[in-house]
Amino acid sequence: MAKGLCLVTGATGFIGSHVAERLIKDGWRVRTIVRPTSNTEFIDTLGVEKIVGDLTDPESVGKAMEGADAVVHCAAMVGDWGPVEQYRKVNVEALRELLEQAVQRGLKRFVHISSLGVYEARDHYGTDESVEPPTEHIDGYTQTKVEAEKLVLEYHRERGLPAVVLRPGFVYGPRDRTVIPRLLEAIRSGRFRYFGSGEQAMNSIYVGNLVEAVLLALDKDNAVGQVYNLTDDEPTSKKRFVGTLARMAGLPEPTKKIPLWLAKVLANILEWRARRKGATNPPLVNKARVKFLGLNLDFSCEKAKRELGYRPRFTFEEGMRQTVEWFRAAGMIPTESGQEAGEQEPKAVA
């Protein structure tokens, strides 16, 4: 489609900032909704237009949608703990208002960023889009991501919204402020443990590869109404992912393991205890983490390759190298000389 104005929700976040950066580089105007307290320093350097408000506020959404040709919906409440209602308010109800506004304004394309987490929490071996996600899930995030997908596709079927659903796996890359920092700290402190052998498949995708898929979804008319699984499309085990991160960061590669059966038992017990106590933070071992670190998560992205022409630009090694370089520049990994990078500014990596 012709380049115009694209509303990118969550542009101050990890994935959204990369989408905004690439769209502007490719000649799009980009707008986003920001809270008064949001850190907009990076997107200000890009020239992203800002609407101060909240995604849950219809007035803010209306202002942001004025004149928009496309939407890339990256915003979501993420996590592996907490009441499902909290996740639903952002991931489903706020999305409903966005979809309603999109239909009323005759939007040309709506790209919804979902997750491979919508699939059942079991071992997967080449699972493709023909497998229907279950209706009940193990945590609030994945539960509401399934509900959000269904809502988007409902608006496509019943209201004619030109929507595309992308299901990336675990997204890694520069500007991730959640999972990679926690992994690095666990490796550095010696607390990291594999659940099982560590040879289970990882469903990872470098953020740069995800951005390429977003551009294809905006451009390809045959993508409308479709759902696409997305990964780096190369074999990557938990051990390869974590070991490469550790090695590139100059840290010892973890070797310690917890038997998978024991991790599952601990997850059940610790979650039960945490809920009884009304804990606001997740237990160290929970079902979502067992899924992430213990299950074989191998998904096919043949449909995206066939219909979108998706070809990952970055190999896993290249993606991880750029990730580690950014974290080192941000002072979150020791430099090669062994000294912390201090106040050095993180560099933008596409």
- Determine the pLDDT at residue 232: 97
- Determine the pLDDT at residue 343: 36
Q: Could you count the other beta carbons within 10 Å of the beta carbon of residue 307?
A: 14
Domain-wise residue ranges, the chain: 5-176+203-230+298-313
Which pLDDT tens digit goes with each residue over 95-138? 999 999 999 988 999 999 999 999 999 999 999 999 999 998 88
- Determine the pLDDT at residue 1: 72
Interatomic CA distance for residues 142 and 341, integer angstroms: 36
Joined tokens for residue 154: 């409902």
- Determine the pLDDT at residue 283: 85
Q: Which CATH code is given to the segment(s) 5-176+203-230+298-313?
A: 3.40.50.720
- Closest residue by Cα to residue 327 from 185, 125, 199: 185
Interatomic CA distance for residues 74 and 91, integer angstroms: 10
Interatomic CA distance for residues 188 and 246, integer angstroms: 8
CA–CA distances in Å: residue 164 to residues 114, 247, 304: 10, 37, 12
Flag whether pLDDT at 53 surpasses 60.
yes
Q: Is 289 helix (H, G, I), strand (E, B) or coil?
A: helix
- Determine the pLDDT at residue 340: 43
- Determine the pLDDT at residue 296: 97
Q: b/e for 35-54, b at 16 or more Cβ within 10 A?
A: eeeeebebbeebebebbebb
Counting residues of the chain whose pLDDT is more than 90, the rounded percentage is 81
The predicted model gives 233-243 an average pLDDT of: 96
Interatomic CA distance for residues 249 and 262, integer angstroms: 30
Q: Is residue 171 within a helix (H) or strand (E), and if so which, with residue range?
A: strand 170-172
> Predicted confidence band at 342 (pLDDT cuts at 50, 70, 90)?
very low
Whole-structure pTM over 0.85, yes or no?
yes
- Determine the pLDDT at residue 335: 62
Which pLDDT tens digit goes with each residue over 37-46? 999 999 999 9
